Chain A
Amino acid sequence: MPSHPTTSRPSHPAMLLILFTFFLLPCIVLAQTEVGQTNIEGTPIVPDSEQIVAAPVTSLIAADHKYDDGEMIELSWVPSIDDQLVDGKVIGYKVYRLEDDGEPQMITELAPGSNAYNDQSVERGKLYSYFVSALSSNAETPSVRTAPIEPQREWLNYELLNVLIMALVLGGAVIYFIETARRGKKLFVRKIAGLEAVDEAIGRATEMGRPILFIPGILDMDDVQTLAALTILGRIARIIADYDTKIFMPVSRSLVMTAGRETIKASYQAAGRPDAYSDDMVTYITDEQFGYVAAVDGIMVRERPATVFLLGAFFAESLILAETGNSVGAIQIAGTARPAQLPFFIAACDFTLIGEELFAASAYLSGEPKQMGSLKGQDVGKAIAMAAILIGILTVTIGDSWDVEWIQNITTGLTEIFSTK
């Protein structure tokens, strides 16, 4: 049985067109796939007179699953013509596999109407061939066997090529503006109210002689919001060291405790006051969400901080902390990227960093040109998103009503660019 090497283009022409015109990036990639196919129709086992025999399945194809580590073979076939919902003879299918030309083994049983199966129990370096039996109430009709096929490993997932290109475009934009700023070009960044207030909030604590409380969320270092909180902590601790105010940071994760200490210590060193730093500024309480909240609430009412920072990943406890902080009269600056908790911070805190602003905060506070440059890079992403939304909605709405092919092509192209499979 011959096998047809087929070529398949992973991307729609319109998508390529747009990628070229929009982003000027080359992306013609052809992926080759081995396909084993049967082209001889199966012949049923000669039936007994008593037996109800169903016609075999046809066009059985076994193909390597593309863009994986060689872990899957995809089977597809046309169901038996006796596979009908009404008075159908077929009651199901059995899939058989031969490993390296060994004995056939049944690997699965499927319902009538099935026309595909993904075999995920294959290994690289072995040859597999398959056949599918149509089951009637008392007989089995096997199909023709497929040619042996080996699962292939691919080194690049072309299905995600659009994601890669878009990520490179965005990452490129960020790096480009960082470089531009580093070379001394002045970049404008608008004021962010919550961050403008940081100085004042720390100053207030100094005047009142009360401590500053920093809560970095309740997730561990493997969450990006915790990282954002720590980068902001670096900036804030520097100002605090200058002001000679007390900072206290209770945490709910041991690793965050370690990283927090490292960060504050460095800031105090940078401010030239390493002697003022103490490990006691950062304390581990408990990993458990509400146990941590119970303790922090207690700290708030007993220490009466003048300023509370709630930055990082928060869950249901957001409002408990923010309301308690409010009740002791603290100025509160909050920020999270969890959309579900933002409303509570908006309601109970003086300033709230909404989503993206949390991640931009440390760059903003640093005041360094190169850091500001990265914010400009983010804006490129927003511009692309807005353009895509605008063009996409227009073309899909118009193309839907007037049936203009090139407009529809743009829609399809856009959808493919932004699809994540």
Chain B
Amino acid sequence: MKRQVPLIITFLIGMIMIFSFFIPPLEGLEQTCSLFFDVIAVFAFFLGGGNLMRIHINKLRRRKKDWGFSIVTLGGFIIMLAAGLLKIGNPGGIAASPTTEGALLQEIFTYVFLPLQSTMYALLAFFVASASYRAFRAKNREATILLIAAFVILLGRTPFGMMLTAWIPESFSVLQVPNMAIWIMNSPNLAGQRAIMIGIGLGVISMSLRLILGIERTYLGDESA
């Protein structure tokens, strides 16, 4: 019961989902399933949110290192919950969408959440630079090719790419750096992307089949794996 039922559920649902693709009357099944998923995910939130609270309360109680910051996290979490669930300050009252402009929830979102999010995202600019400094080194043939492709594209994105190769006559304009960059994006890059995508498709088929057929069952707490 403990081990067989989940395997049977996975098998049945998996098979139904595969074949519903070909059976018009089952067209809506995909939406129904994603609806179920959404509902299950909300219930699971009790577990996740509960876990978050438990960890920080524990930190506080035991005065673990950096427990002060746990107060901040807990405070932020609870304020958002209260603001959103009770719709505090919502100009439309309790019936309005929780994200109505002017509601406390949305105000915090705009003035605290958004700057944090875009700054975190902007960190990428720095990491792109440090990664290319370290990674693009001609250690072997593969790495050299990686380096050259990246360099040509980078050069093609600056005015210098054009200036360096402006002397090349119009009839050979293909060899000008910006055009070479376009060509690389269009041909070899496309080829690589396609090979990767076909591979991914096949990999998904094989893994999904292993899951559906119950060959892969570690996630179900199978002890024999």
- Touch between chains A and B, by CB atoms below 8 Å: yes
- Interchain CB contact (< 8 A) of A266 among B116, B210, B221: B221
Q: Is the interface of A mostly helix, strand, loop or mixed?
A: helix
Cβ-based interface call for A52 (8 A)? no
Cβ-based interface call for B182 (8 A)? no
Cβ-based interface call for B110 (8 A)? no
The verdict on A164 contacting B197 (CB below 8 Å), with A228-B207, A320-B127 known, is no
| Distance of B59 from chain A, by nearest CB (Å) | 12
| Distance of A246 from chain B, by nearest CB (Å) | 16
Give the residues from 166 to 225 in chain B that come closer than 8 angstroms, CB to CB, to chain A: 193, 196-211, 213, 215-216, 218-225
| Distance of A217 from chain B, by nearest CB (Å) | 14
Task: Verify B23–A270 contact, CB threshold 8 A.
Answer: no
Task: Verify A222–B197 contact, CB threshold 8 A.
Answer: no
- Interchain CB contact (< 8 A) of B219 among A224, A234, A382: A234
Give the residues from 255 to 280 in chain A that come closer than 8 angstroms, CB to CB, to chain B: 255, 257-259, 262-263, 265-267, 269-270, 280
Task: Verify B205–A378 contact, CB threshold 8 A.
Answer: yes
Give the residues from 263 to 310 in chain A that come closer than 8 angstroms, CB to CB, to chain B: 263, 265-267, 269-270, 280, 283-286, 288, 290-291, 293-294
- Interchain CB contact (< 8 A) of A285 among B34, B46, B52, B218: B52
- In the bound assembly, the distance between CA atoms of A164 and B22 in angstroms comes to 7
**Total A-B Cβ pairs within 8 A:** 215
Kindly list chain A residues whose C-beta atoms are within 8 Å of the C-beta of B132.
347
Considering the complex, give the chain A residue whose CB is closest to the CB of B135.
A347
Give the residues from 2 to 35 in chain B that come closer than 8 angstroms, CB to CB, to chain A: 18, 21-25, 27, 34
Task: Verify A171–B223 contact, CB threshold 8 A.
Answer: no
Size of A's binding interface in residues, CB under 8 A: 85
Cβ-based interface call for A346 (8 A)? yes
Cβ-based interface call for A22 (8 A)? no
- Interchain CB contact (< 8 A) of A257 among B23, B48, B193, B206: B48
Cβ-based interface call for B159 (8 A)? no
- In the bound assembly, the distance between CA atoms of A220 and B40 in angstroms comes to 12
Task: Verify A155–B121 contact, CB threshold 8 A.
Answer: no
Chain B, interface size: which category?
A: 35 or more
Cβ-based interface call for B120 (8 A)? yes
Considering the complex, give the chain A residue whose CB is closest to the CB of B47.
A254
Kindly list chain B residues whose C-beta atoms are within 8 Å of the C-beta of A323.
127, 130-131
Kindly list chain B residues whose C-beta atoms are within 8 Å of the C-beta of A235.
218
Cβ-based interface call for A205 (8 A)? no
Give the residues from 104 to 144 in chain B that come closer than 8 angstroms, CB to CB, to chain A: 116-117, 120-121, 123-124, 127-128, 130-132, 134-136
- Interchain CB contact (< 8 A) of B48 among A254, A322, A362, A381: A254
Kindly list chain B residues whose C-beta atoms are within 8 Å of the C-beta of A220.
37, 41
Cβ-based interface call for B81 (8 A)? no
Cβ-based interface call for A375 (8 A)? yes
- Interchain CB contact (< 8 A) of A371 among B18, B128, B216: B216
Considering the complex, give the chain B residue whose CB is closest to the CB of A370.
B215
| Distance of A124 from chain B, by nearest CB (Å) | 10
Cβ-based interface call for A69 (8 A)? yes
| Distance of B116 from chain A, by nearest CB (Å) | 7
**Which of B55, B128, B204, B224 has most chain A Cβ within 10 Å?**
B204
- In the bound assembly, the distance between CA atoms of A347 and B129 in angstroms comes to 11
Considering the complex, give the chain B residue whose CB is closest to the CB of A368.
B215
- In the bound assembly, the distance between CA atoms of A311 and B88 in angstroms comes to 40
Task: Verify B51–A359 contact, CB threshold 8 A.
Answer: no
Give the residues from 173 to 195 in chain A that come closer than 8 angstroms, CB to CB, to chain B: 174-175, 178
Cβ-based interface call for A344 (8 A)? yes
The verdict on A371 contacting B210 (CB below 8 Å), with A344-B131, A348-B135 known, is yes
Known A174-B205, A175-B213, A254-B47; 19 more pairs at CB < 8 Å:
A67-B24, A69-B24, A163-B22, A231-B216, A235-B218, A254-B46, A254-B48, A262-B219, A265-B221, A269-B223, A288-B117, A316-B121, A316-B124, A339-B200, A347-B136, A348-B134, A362-B207, A378-B206, A381-B201
Residue contacts A-B, CB under 8 angstroms, 10 given: A164-B22, A170-B205, A224-B207, A231-B211, A254-B41, A263-B219, A283-B55, A284-B48, A371-B216, A374-B209
